Amino acid sequence: MKTLLLSSLSKVFKDVEPNEREFTCFSSLSNEKFSFQVAVLPEKESEVSLSVKVSSPIANSIKVYEVKNIPAGTTQYEDSDNFHYSAERKEFPDLLMPVDGNVSLTKGEWSSLWFEYIPESNVTGKQDITITLTADDVTEEKSFELDIINSELPEQDILFTNWFHNDCICTYYGIEPFSDEYWEIVERFIKNAREHGVNMLLTPVFTPPLDTEVGGERPTFQLVGVKMQGSTYSFDFTNFRKYVDICLKNGIEAFEISHFFTQWGAEHAPKIVADVDGEITRIFGWETDGSGAEYTDFLAQFSTAFRKETETLGIKERCWVHVSDEPNESQIEQYTKAADIVKKYFSDFNSLDALSDIRYFKNGLIKTPVCAEEEADVFRAEVKDFWTYYCCAQTKKYLPNRMFAQPSVRSRVLGVLLYKYDAKGFLQWGHNFWYTQYSKNPIDPFKVTDAGGSFPSGDSFVVYPGEGGVPLNSLRHLVFAEAFQDLRALKLLETLTSREYVLKLIEKGLDIPLSFTSYPHEKGWLLDLRATINEEINKRK
């Protein structure tokens, strides 16, 4: 068999021999995760069933996965840039399946085994890791050296929300919201999200009016119970409290309250159900004028109860409210009406919205705008607390993103860019969106990865629903987490030197300044930069 040690930035395709130098050693800080791969090509039938053994002083802290190929429908758009793999390719290495027993491979096809070190306390120094692959008549050994530096990454000080879709979890597993099974499963997914950088969670006080066709609706998921008696409303925060408690227990630091108005214009109220004379009834939705008196009165009453609840829980300063998602340049008048309502009743809360027209911010309609990456330079010059996001649209101009068909360096470089732009937050819409576009139908995410042909594969989710309610990671999920580790390492080096020093280090040797549209595309540049950062930290510890 053929084998090759690779970094986490490589994607191994079954029909392409990796053409790169072996990745045999690297360094990490003492509290950061670290991943590398072994690419394998069975050349005989007797080599297709492999046992995998890890020998190392840190062996018990190393997880082993098989990188599984997953089908892709839409991989890119006609106007996507050339920093993509071939549009003809229709499956990509993505799912990290934990190895339990032997690994079954295919003769003549390249595969990859992924090794993830989960840091132990008080382990530093050079650690030899030997990977032994054994088939019936052959044994192959690969050796990797991980130098664990005796310095710790600082806590993540940037907020990251990757929209967490509770209804998708309920739909896929066939469970009722707020059942015992729901709480068990959702905690596993929240814990997994936090372990990979998510520290702000979409919190659906009412069913989020997101990714829903005008006039349609997604499954009801409403953390706050409502009882309606004439024009008076009362609120039950029991499930909200439990959700918050689980989030806090698992390290979530901020709560992104679901939007108070519909997407793309803020014209209507979200779907809200209530107990009306003993029956659960939808009281607001697409038929509701978002700036009308009835819904405005509802928000006035809700804001009073919500403020009291969040103050009691001690999380008011951690809550961020939304008006509406991505209004365009023609919708500023209606958005202004909705924003004025939110400012009136939630003025003492943090607020944010994804919007890429700077006028919304300049007109004082939102405290924290979250712009698309291509507008980063415009917003960075105007906004004190800079946030940005990417979604399906950022497949042009080499903007960082995480699609199946994009090289992993395109995802990981985001950490360096967020450092340079001194970002305070990052948003992406699809942690686990397992529906087709507009939430019309559920999908099998192991077979449908493009939201039913609507978005490039990889846009709508980074985790898979494993058996028994256990989340399964994608390699994109781990690579993104590495980007945030890079960001934290840069922040650490800044405390040891200066921001000016770190910025010069980042851009050393570059012909033009680093930006969201201009950065080296070679994985070697990013790995060398991280190695240099580690060296700089190590000599100052």
Q: State the pLDDT at residue 56.
A: 98
391-414 pLDDT, tens digit each = 999 999 999 999 999 999 999 999
In total, the chain counts a number of residues equal to 541
Residue with tokens 């310095």: 151
Closest CA to 243 of 298, 169, 301: 169
- CA-to-CA distance for 391 and 456, rounded, in angstroms? 10
In 3-state terms the chain splits into helix, strand, coil percentages (rounded to 5) of 30, 25, 45
- Report the sign of the C-alpha dihedral through residues 279, 284, 285, 288, in that order: positive
**285 band by pLDDT with thresholds 50, 70 and 90:** very high
Tell me the CA end-to-end span of the chain in Å, nearest whole number: 43
Model pLDDT for residues 71-96, shown as the tens digit of each residue: 999 999 999 999 999 999 999 999 99
- In this predicted structure, the answer to whether residue 9 has a pLDDT above a threshold of 90 is yes
Largest CA distance in the chain: 79
pLDDT in tens, 172-218: 999 999 999 999 999 999 999 999 999 999 999 999 999 999 999 99
Interatomic CA distance for residues 83 and 393, integer angstroms:
14
478: amino acid identity, one letter: L
Residue 137 predicted with pLDDT over 90 = no
Nearest to 7 by CA among 136, 146, 118: 146
Cα within 13 Å of Cα(527), Cβ side: 18
Domain boundaries, the chain: 2-152+492-538, 159-224+237-270+293-474
The reported pLDDT for the residue numbered 121 is 82
**Under 8 Å between Cβ of 322 and 256:** yes
Per-residue pLDDT tens over the stretch 146-182: 999 999 999 999 999 999 999 999 999 999 999 999 9
The secondary structure of residue 461, as a DSSP letter, is B
- Dist CA 94 CA 476 (whole Å): 7
Question: Alpha-carbon distance 416 to 199, whole Å?
Answer: 19
Residue 431: predicted pLDDT: 98
Q: What is the CATH number of domain 2-152+492-538?
A: 2.60.40.10
Q: Which helix (H) or strand (E) holds 476?
A: helix 475-496
Q: Provide φ and ψ at 411, rounded to 5°.
A: -85, -45
Q: Which residues pair with 54 in a beta bridge?
A: 131
Closest by Cα among 385, 405, 383 to 395: 405
Number of other CB atoms surrounding residue 406 within 10 Å: 26
Percent of the chain with pLDDT over 70: 100
pLDDT value at residue 174: 98
Instruction: For residue 116, give both structure tokens.
Output: 């993830």
pLDDT at 122: 87
- pLDDT higher than 90, residue 264: no
Element (H, E) at 416: helix 414-420
pLDDT grade, residue 502 (50/70/90)?
very high
**Distance (Å, whole) CA 352 – CA 335:** 13
Reference 321, options 208, 166, 198, 238; nearest CA is: 208
Angstrom distance (rounded) from CA 365 to CA 455: 30
Average pLDDT across the chain, whole number? 97
Q: Is the domain 159-224+237-270+293-474 a CATH 3.20.20 member?
A: yes
Check pLDDT > 90 for residue 265: no
Residue 481 to residue 117: CA distance in whole angstroms: 13
298-317 tens-digit pLDDT: 999 999 999 999 999 999 99
Neighbouring CB atoms inside 10 A of 176's CB total: 9
Provide mean pLDDT across the span 343-349: 97
pLDDT of 451-489, one tens digit each?
A: 999 999 999 999 999 999 999 999 999 999 999 999 999
8: nearest Cα among 41, 49, 51, 39: 39
Decide the pairing of beta strands 125-134 and 139-149: antiparallel
Is residue 421 pLDDT above 90, yes or no? yes
Note whether 2-152+492-538 and 159-224+237-270+293-474 share their fold: no
Q: C-alpha angle 394/399/401, rounded to 5°?
A: 65
pLDDT for 47-56, tens place per residue?
999 999 999 9
Q: Torsions phi, psi of 521, nearest 5?
A: -95, -5
Q: Tell me the Cα Rg of the chain.
A: 24
Is the separation of the CB atoms in 517 and 413 below 8 Å?
no
Q: Give the bridge partners for 130, in sequence order.
A: 55, 143
Beta strands in 458-509 (DSSP E): 463-465, 471-473
- CA nearest neighbour of 424 among 465, 456, 461, 380: 380
- Percentage of the chain exceeding pLDDT 90: 98
- Cα–chain center distance at 110: 28
Distance, in Å, from the CA atom of 266 to the CA atom of 210, rounded to the nearest integer, reads 11
* Sole residue written with tokens 């030197």: 497
pLDDT of residue 120: 82
Give the three-class secondary structure for 510: coil
Tokens found for residue 225: 């119970």
Q: What is the dihedral of CA 377, 382, 384, 389, to 10 degrees?
A: -40
CB 146 within 8 A of CB 127: yes
Burial 505-514, CB ≥16 within 10 A → b, else e: ebbeeeeeeb
Q: What is the model's pLDDT at position 329?
A: 87
